[in-house]
Structure 1
Amino acid sequence: MLNKIALEEAWNIPDAASLGGFQPGSLAPKGVIGGDLGANLLDIHETRLQQMDENGVEFMVLSLVSPGPQGLANKAGAEKLAQVANDKMSEAVMKNPTRFAGLVSLSMHDPAQAGEELKRCWNELVGFVGVILNDFQSAGTDGNTMLFYDDPIYDIFWKTAEELNAPVYIHPRSATPEITEKMWKGREHLAFSTLGYANRVNMHLLGIITAGVLDRFPMVKLVVGHMGEHIPYDLYRIDHKLNRARFPQMRMRKDKLIRDYFGTQVFITTSGHFSTAALLCAMTEIGTEAIMFSIDYPFESIPNGCVWFDEHVKDTLNARDLVRIGRGNALKVYERLREGNGPHGLKEMTAAECDVGGLRMKDGEVEFGLYNKDWSRRLVKQ
């Protein structure tokens, strides 16, 4: 499929280490994740763009690599990292705004300050289409305090996000030192992408929903990656076990299930989870309108993610659903991407415009359903 939009794609600033930001060597030795992870994170307009062109990705929405400001327990340091990263993000994406946009990074130590930084980026800078929050905010002198955004004190932030129509992407991050010691010591291989990331993010997302945040702010949109961080697979049991008689104090609307928020206020992406079976499960549980394509570059391969979507998923879904997931839904959720709403100028496209289904015009072929170009002989696919 041509003209895909990818939404969970990481980037870093050159002076990240001096500001307390992500250092690639802290995750894995050089060469383990896609060659030179550090160089890939810094690059936007060279290798990244070349691979986008080669794989039918028209547009990427970039975000500061996790944990970003959420990893800094010091309030002043987290706010400075967010401000510097946002200024540099705007500058970087506006070098080519028809191919790139950014998500606003925020310190979440102070909900009011987070709202003000979001307003600054939304109204004074250019190139932003949403927000990235890397799960909980670290706080406290030892970094072990975890601030979660289902607390009512964060309503001032959610009010701002709603007023600005800024979708909030909740992305994984590493656990605190105390949780790492108590839960993951001796099983570090499970602490990150394998299990720990999803377990922490899905708890946080469900906490926000069941706290009634989406009911108080019905225009707020939340996005999570990695095929929904396990939630679609468990959705029956989640809804079944949120028994209102057992949990009468739960603040979520009493006439709604978790599944009712998907497709209107809650959305998932395919980032880093290239399983057709998992995608079909998600489509069955939450609907095509709640799912958007993403890659998770440079932690995942652009060609790998695109081959999966273009060659395997393409043969499984109807053309309209493929284009909705690959492009159309992103334009509905991230409205600033759309033509006339800013510098990016993206528009909705038909399946034919995305080279999916319909009449094919290549090599003079204009007949729908012409799988084998020779009428009399079966040709071998090269």
Structure 2
Amino acid sequence: MKGKIALEECFTIPELLEYFNPSSFASKGVIGDDLTGNLLDIHGKRLREMDENDVEFMVLSLNAPGCQAIANQKESEDMARLANDYLEQELLKNPKRFAAVAALSMHDPAQAAEELKRCMTEKKGFVGAMINDFQSVGEDGQGIVFYDDPKYDAFWKAANDLEAPVYIHPRPSNKLIHELLWKGRPWLDFSALGYANRVNAHLLGIVTAGVLDRFPKLKLVIGHMGEHIPYDLYRIDHKLDRNRFPNMPMRKDKLVRDYFGSQIFITTSGHFSTPALICAMTEIGARSIAFSIDYPFESIPNGSCWWDEYVSVNVSERDFVDMGRNNSLNIFPKLKDPLHGLKEMEPEECGVGGLRASEGEVTYGMYNKDYNRRMRKV
């Protein structure tokens, strides 16, 4: 599919490596050829692979855990400003291929709101924000802050008023969580299980705290095919019984599923499973889903091959193109601004659909080009 837009694509800056060095997370050759090098690169290998795989556009975000891992408030806030200034400089070199979501320190809701406002109104190329799950705080860095606390309404109001979607991304656990939950099974702490468990709890905490009801223009985005939520959505709604939990702040006449497609959206980042996608489409609808890769933690060719060759034959052409491109423009409307100039496209503009036959060629059906014998794909 031509014209694909990818929303959860990471980069880093040298200054962040002091706090989180990807080489300690995965040495060379484990995740791609050079994870740290690929995070630092924007205009080289990344752009070349985008071109080779019909990825027209990427929205860039500071690599997790980003500012959320920095327990010192001033250092965290300084890192966010530094990263955002750097990213504006880089994306303006090629704004027809890149936009950004703002990095934020979440120590102080008012300060986070101000930095988001700076990025959305004073800087160019920013279309929303990304926060990497909980904020680390405290002298030992083991304190945790979640954003369903009412004091964070100052931040959510800013995101609502600025119409800045907020992407909630996973991060590694801290030492305390790791010791309590993952000691003896550290391989489960990361993207296999722990990331999704922590983010889905955080998102559902925000929703059930009534944040989306208080701020109806607020949009939240999560990756990795919804961090397990679509699969569990019946049970989530069923068990949030209002008679059992009469003080739950979420609107009494709504289910969690009712927010999908208008205020909650998911992406396919790093979760290239067609059955999982079909499940999500059935539970929350195609308009709630957008294509993403999760580069460089995932492969641009691998994610694009899955989308173009496997998803394409399992969903309708309209849903395929909407999820691959158009939904992203509805979630992040600033992508349509003249700076980036993106527009919604019809299937035929994306090279989808139509009769796949050369002029004058005799066709014998939609799948096989010989009447008498099966032609197998190589």
- Normalising TM by the smaller chain, what interval? over 0.9
> Is 1:9 aligned with 2:9?
yes
**Counterpart secondary structure, 2:349:** coil
- The amino acid across from 1:14 in the alignment is P
1:87 is matched with 85
Give the TM-score normalised by structure 1.
Answer: 0.95
Output the CA distance in 1 between the equivalents of 2:341 and 2:361: 32
Map 1:217-366 onto structure 2 (within 5 A).
Answer: 217-338=215-336, 341-360=337-356
Deviation of 1:125 after TM superposition, in Å, equals 1.1
Paired with 1:378 and 1:256, the residues of 2 have a C-alpha distance of 52
Amino acid paired to 1:106:
L
Native 8 Å contact 1:359 1:367 kept in 2: no
The code of the aligned residue for 1:327 comes to R
SS for the counterpart of 1:131 is strand
Q: Which residue of 1 aligns with 2:193?
A: 195
Secondary structure in 1 matching 2:265: strand
Question: Once the two structures are superposed, what CA deviation does each residue of 1:78-134 show, in whole Å capped at 9, x if it has no partner?
Answer: 001100000001111111100111110000000000000111111111111110000
Structure 2 residue runs without a partner (length 5+): none
Deviation at 1:378? 5.3
State how far apart, in whole Å, the 2-side matches of 1:244 and 1:79 are: 39
Normalising by the residue count of structure 2, what TM-score does the alignment of the two structures yield?
Answer: 0.96
> Cα distance 1:381–1:15, how it changes in 2: closer, same or farther (>3 A)?
same
Instruction: Rate the CA distance shift 1:57–1:368 in 2: closer, same or farther, 3 A.
Output: farther
Distance 2:189 2:261 in 1: 30
Checking the alignment, whether the CA contact within 8 Å between 2:364 and 2:370 is kept in structure 1 is: no
* 1:144 paired residue number: 142
**Cα-to-partner distance string for 1:150-181 (whole Å, 9 max, x where unaligned):** 01101010111011110000000011111111
Q: Which moved more, 1:25-34 or 1:277-286?
A: 25-34
User: Unpaired segments of 5 or more residues in structure 1?
Assistant: none
> Which residue is equivalent to 2:111?
113
Instruction: Classify 1:369/1:94 alpha carbon distance in 2 versus 1 (closer, same or farther; 3 Å).
Output: farther
Using the alignment, how far apart are the partners of 1:189 and 1:279 within structure 2? 25
Map 1:121-136 to 2 at 5 A: 121-136=119-134
- Asked if the contact 1:359/1:366 (under 8 Å) is kept, the reply is no
Matched length: 378
Instruction: List per-residue Cα deviations over 1:44-66 (Å, max 9, x = no partner).
Output: 11111111111111000010000
Return the offset for 1:2: 1.0
- Give CA-to-partner distance per residue, 1:138-157, whole Å, 9 cap, x none: 00111111111101101010
Assess if the C-alpha contact under 8 Å between 1:162 and 1:220 holds in 2. yes
Secondary structure of 1:264's counterpart equals: coil
For residue 297 of structure 1, report the CA deviation from its aligned partner: 0.5
- Distance, in Å, in 1 between the alignment partners of 2:360 and 2:137 is 63
Q: Is the 8 A contact 1:360 1:367 kept in 2?
A: no
Distance change in 2, residues 1:67/1:373 (3 Å): same
Structure 2 vs 1, CA of residues 146 and 371 (structure 1 numbering), >3 Å: closer, same or farther? same
Tell me, in whole angstroms, the C-alpha distance in 2 between the residues paired with 1:364 and 1:33.
47
When residues 374 and 344 of structure 1 are mapped into structure 2, their CA distance, relative to the original with a 3 A threshold, is same
Code of the residue aligned with 1:246 in structure 2: it is R
Q: Return the letter of the residue paired with 2:6.
A: A
**Does the 8 Å contact 1:359/1:368 carry over to 2?**
no
Structure 2: how far apart are the matches of 1:368 and 1:206? 51
Greater mean alpha carbon deviation, residues 372-381 or residues 104-113: 372-381
CA offset digits 1:266-322 (Å, max 9, x no partner): 000000000001001101111111000000010011111111111011010110000
In structure 1, give the amino acid aligned to 2:125: G
Contact 1:358 1:368 in 2 (8 A): no
Whole-angstrom CA distance in 2 between matches of 1:272 and 1:9: 10
User: 1:315 & 1:308 partners in 2: Cα distance?
Assistant: 11
In the alignment, the residues of structure 2 paired with residue 29 and residue 151 of structure 1 have an alpha-carbon distance, to the nearest angstrom, of 38
Cα deviation 1:337-371 (Å, max 9, x = unaligned) = 11xx2410000000011111124476776989654
Cα distance change, pair 367–153 in 1 and its aligned pair in 2 (3 A): farther
CA distance in 2, matches of 1:374, 1:12: 51
The offset of 1:206, in angstroms, is 0.1
**1:14 positional shift:** 2.4
